[in-house]
Structure 1
Amino acid sequence: MARRNANGEGTIYQRKDGRWVCSIKVETTSGMKKRVYIYGKTRAEISRKLTELKVKNDQGIMAADRSWLLGDYLDYWLDAVVKSNRRAATYAQCETIVRLYLKPGIGNMPIGRLAVPGVQRYINQLLAGGHSVPKVHVIRKVLSAALTRAEREELITRNVARLVELPPEERKEIKPWSVEEVARFLEATRPHRFYAAYLLLFYGLRKGELLGLRWQDIDVANSKIHVRQQLQRVGRQILIGPLKTTKSRRDLPLLEPVRLALADYYEKSRVEGTDLVFTTPEGNPIDPGNFLRNFKRVCQQHGLRIITVHTIRHTVATLLKKQRVADRDIQLILGHSRIVTTQEVYQHDDDESRHTALQGLTGALLEPSNTQTVQSVRSGLPSAVIDSNGSCQNGCQKPSFMDRVASIISGGAYRIRTDGLFHAINNHTTLAARLTEMDANLKSSRRQLVLGVVAVSVAVKETRD
């Protein structure tokens, strides 16, 4: 009599078409039990797959309650996760990527059978088709976010999108405005209706944060500006929504020039019936795209180098760095989540800053403030026999080993010591004398060591004889 398999042991059999099949009941992510069927070409292959399935089930790794195609799961992810937990602009971007690229490209693949080679081929096709590297990075990022959620729901065991290789994304070079350019811009826009808005841009506000400011956010009593919301265009709609990150919620000081500019704007341009500070003459929210176009038009009219509104945030970060403001303070002013973003993305240098830095270093190392007071460490000669270039006169000898050691111990490398560095030590003569004494002690120790070795050798010889 044939033995019946125990519950949970699974069944293996061969179909009439020659394929092997195994079936087993497993726990699913919905909490119910489900019979799963696996197909293969040989009994050994099916036996191995059945063993793997039982091990996962024993470890509490539940099986999917349905067979997801990637395209179907992406639709579910957009509706159940992104739409309810992310900003409207984020949802719009993800929906566009899914609809235009991911579903047409690999949407018909079972999510459980996604593999690195298949996703890599698709990414390579996008690059070969002329899509830019930054765009393909965004596509991979959206796919990775969806697969990360699938990992949490235990539908897959690994996120293959993270293992795909892409060319490095090169950031577009950004050249912020200089102090002179900022001054010219503010002077040129002083008569402009939105002068107060332009002035507030140099608080490091994002464009959406500026256009989303309300009068109630201008706390004149406490001299504060509260950044609490932002305005964005999503598709054809202009929406008021939450800030980009939790760190974007911040309070900034209301400085006197800004207060006066806002007071002037309130008297001349405020529109009744809206709580937004900056609006169109009809009282409607300002389209961010229109604000950018008006900003560039003003720059063009006054002969200024044209940049984007967002580049002003880079300008603020860079100018604050030049003022030696702490990076942590700059991060809080700009509302960045991580200080590395402030340091690596928003702070820039230029030829002038590099020149100033190296000039300061060179001056500290190579330019003594008073060469007449510098004593020659090299030969023990007074400074009168050393010319202005630091070279010896009257054929002085090369520095001895003791001279070089004295120079190093005293805090500077030989021949690049400055007046300030020389005065940083207490007494060169005392140091040289100390080193001479050390050298004498070493010589004495060497002599004693030699005598000891000789004595031991003689004793050993006499013993042998």
Structure 2
Amino acid sequence: MTTPRDTSPSRRTRANGDGTVYQRKDSRWEAAGYVLAPGNTRRRVRVYGTTRKEALAKLTEKIAASNRGLPVPSAQGSVAAYLTYWLENVAVHQLRENTHTRYTACVNRYLIPGLGKKKLAKLTAKDVRTWLNQLRTTCQCCTRGLDAARNQPRCCAIGQCCSRRLSPLTLAYIHSVLKSALAHAVREEEIPRNVARNVRTGTPRPRRFEPLTADEARRLLTTAEGHRLHALFELALHTGLRKGELLGLHWEDLDLDAGTAAIRRTLQRTTAGGITTLPTKTRASERRIALPTRCVQSLKLHREQQQREREAAATAWQHSGHVFTTAQGRAIDPTNLTRAFTTLLRKARLRRIRFHDLRHSTATLLLEQGVELVVIKELLGHAHIGVTATVYAHVRLRLQRDAIDTLSTALDGPTSTKPSRAEGDERPPCAAPVR
């Protein structure tokens, strides 16, 4: 008769649902049990350990996660395979073409070379952190083979590293692309959690920009007088519209009698479609703004000028309905607008800035005039007021300093003049003044 003491540990009876634990011929311990799988099905999994306790602990952890409703990972492929699938079948339908192009370049240039060979189901936060640290400290000139492609290597190939490292903003962008891809893998129940979300890269400093001062903005507008796109530059400085929003304006979007403009679309150049009209950047970007009287007058003059150009072009005119067009009526290429803006800056003898800095100039000048942040947020079309507050934090800090200096001046009071006492207003008797 066999007693419980004589029973082998691998043959002990376990409760229903607890799984099976036994020792293999190679001396390892194997535990197997049924857990929740994608599609609300059940799947038998196997885990291994050097001891019975270790194997049982691993199985218990998986069963506990299954009882909480977390399915086991079903992704057996590599990270590279999933990223390729995500770009071609998911992101292409959710992102704009230019954004999808940037995502593709990021995946092919950084994510696949760094993490592509790892199994998606076995990717850990430590793997992501190690890879990001390597990106942060590695010279990209040699990592991407740029130095080897040169006729005369001048970097790591000759022992003189140029230290061409990625900026914190680029690292944050790469990290965000990985988080987006893994977030979709979690939604499709390919993996139980997004390990990239557990890695902190720090908050990068926003890009520095140098907006125009009030004097520089006046000089720019004075120089733009007589330019066929004078109304565009004036509208950009007075309203802070984006380049694509300005070029995407149609005459039907303007109500010059009421002095308003409806921002409904943006114009961009894409690789596949060329110059294309797309919806606004975000839902908050679709807005109606008030037009200054000066801009209304400029737009009326611009409409008359466009009518004269249409008559001069005759049959060569291509009606597009846009407010700002070429002399033949076609939509303006954003790159050509940038060239015209650079030429205007040179003519006005102003420092070179981006066209987008006109938008920053508008917000900065409004803040310096005491306009509330929420009004600027609505004018610029930011999705959240926190975006406005973050981008223009340096302006708010300078305004705070000016306000504190003004208060300090008021509290100091006048020092050179003393208030005169009325006749008969004698000082009351008191002790000797304390100095």
Q: TM-score, normalised by structure 2?
A: 0.78
Which whole-Å CA distance do the structure 1 matches of 2:184 and 2:405 have between them? 53
Q: Deviations over 1:156-187 (max 9, x none)?
A: 44433233343652233322111111111111
DSSP-derived class of the 1:274 partner? coil
5+ unaligned residues in a row in structure 1: which ranges?
A: 384-394, 400-465
CA contact (8 A) 1:314 1:347 kept: no
Which of 198-207 and 39-48 deviates more? 39-48
Deviation at 1:308, TM superposition (A): 1.0
Q: 2:372 aligns with which of 323, 326, 334?
A: 326
Say if 1:18 and 1:277 are closer, same or farther in 2 by CA, change over 3 A.
farther
Which whole-Å CA distance do the structure 2 matches of 1:255 and 1:329 have between them? 15
- Determine the structure 2 residue equivalent to 1:460: none
Which residue identity is paired with 2:119? P
DSSP-derived class of the 2:32 partner? strand
Q: 1:346 aligns with which of 389, 392, 397?
A: 392
1:85 aligns with 2:121: no
- Determine the structure 2 residue equivalent to 1:242: 279
Deviation at 1:246, TM superposition (A): 1.5
DSSP-derived class of the 1:308 partner? coil
DSSP-derived class of the 1:171 partner? coil
Q: Deviations over 1:176-223 (max 9, x none)?
A: 111111111111011111111111112110111111111211123433
Deviation at 1:356, TM superposition (A): 4.9
- Determine the structure 2 residue equivalent to 1:368: 414
- Determine the structure 2 residue equivalent to 1:463: none
- Determine the structure 2 residue equivalent to 1:121: 130
- Determine the structure 2 residue equivalent to 1:252: 289
Structure 2 counterparts to residues 196-215 of structure 1, below 5 A? 196-202=231-237, 203-215=239-251
- Determine the structure 2 residue equivalent to 1:150: 185
DSSP-derived class of the 1:231 partner? strand
Deviation at 1:288, TM superposition (A): 2.1
- Determine the structure 1 residue equivalent to 2:41: 32
Say if 1:211 and 1:19 are closer, same or farther in 2 by CA, change over 3 A.
farther
DSSP-derived class of the 1:232 partner? strand
More RCO (CA 8 Å, sep 6+): 2
CA contact (8 A) 1:232 1:240 kept: yes
DSSP-derived class of the 1:71 partner? helix
CA contact (8 A) 1:87 1:242 kept: no
1:110 aligns with 2:146: no
Which of 191-200 and 82-91 deviates more? 82-91
Structure 2 counterparts to residues 262-277 of structure 1, below 5 A? 262-269=299-306, 272-277=318-323
Deviation at 1:291, TM superposition (A): 1.7
Which whole-Å CA distance do the structure 2 matches of 1:284 and 1:39 have between them? 68
- Determine the structure 2 residue equivalent to 1:447: none
DSSP-derived class of the 2:418 partner? helix
Which whole-Å CA distance do the structure 2 matches of 1:66 and 1:351 have between them? 49
CA contact (8 A) 1:74 1:98 kept: yes
CA contact (8 A) 2:232 2:246 kept: yes
CA contact (8 A) 1:34 1:65 kept: no
Cα RMSD, aligned residues only: 3.1
Which whole-Å CA distance do the structure 2 matches of 1:128 and 1:137 have between them? 14
Deviation at 1:227, TM superposition (A): 0.3
Structure 2 counterparts to residues 372-387 of structure 1, below 5 A? 372-373=418-419
DSSP-derived class of the 1:372 partner? coil
Which whole-Å CA distance do the structure 2 matches of 1:104 and 1:96 have between them? 12
Larger radius of gyration: 1
Say if 1:39 and 1:300 are closer, same or farther in 2 by CA, change over 3 A.
same
DSSP-derived class of the 1:373 partner? coil
- Determine the structure 2 residue equivalent to 1:193: 228
CA contact (8 A) 1:314 1:348 kept: no
Q: Percent identity?
A: 35
Which residue identity is paired with 2:175? R
5+ unaligned residues in a row in structure 2: which ranges?
A: 3-10, 139-164, 311-316
Which residue identity is paired with 2:264? R
Which residue identity is paired with 1:137? A
Say if 1:22 and 1:347 are closer, same or farther in 2 by CA, change over 3 A.
closer
Which whole-Å CA distance do the structure 2 matches of 1:189 and 1:206 have between them? 18
Which whole-Å CA distance do the structure 2 matches of 1:336 and 1:315 have between them? 16
Structure 2 counterparts to residues 288-307 of structure 1, below 5 A? 288-307=334-353
Which of 265-274 and 91-100 deviates more? 265-274
Which whole-Å CA distance do the structure 2 matches of 1:347 and 1:43 have between them? 58
Deviation at 1:268, TM superposition (A): 2.4
